[in-house]
Amino acid sequence: MSIDEKTVAKVAKLARIALPEERLAPMTHELNGILNWIEQLQEVDVEGVEAMASSVHAALPLRKDELKTDETGGGRPEEVVANAPRTEDHFFVVPKVVE
């Protein structure tokens, strides 16, 4: 597949990209190179290859979900919400922003 300068100019206009006349030929060459590379990728046999979301497989360390003690600032919900304009059951009450 290849594209011509007229197509590149049309795509640039649709994308609202200012593309000067002197950049049309180089841009056409670059886009044709990208399309040729994509065609090469389509020729690769991937039968039996499992899809991956990421090439890096790293397990994130997990910590136990527990209530913090007084020395770290937890365990005092009344003090945490003391200056809030509106609270309910030790939670901050905020205006609804999604309808």
Cα angle 5, 13, 24; round to 5: 30
What single letter denotes the amino acid at residue 55?
Answer: S
pLDDT of residue 95 exceeding 80, the answer is yes
What's the confidence (pLDDT) of residue 51? 82
Predicted TM-score (pTM) of the model is: 0.49
Listed by start position, the domains of the chain span 5-42
What's the confidence (pLDDT) of residue 70? 64
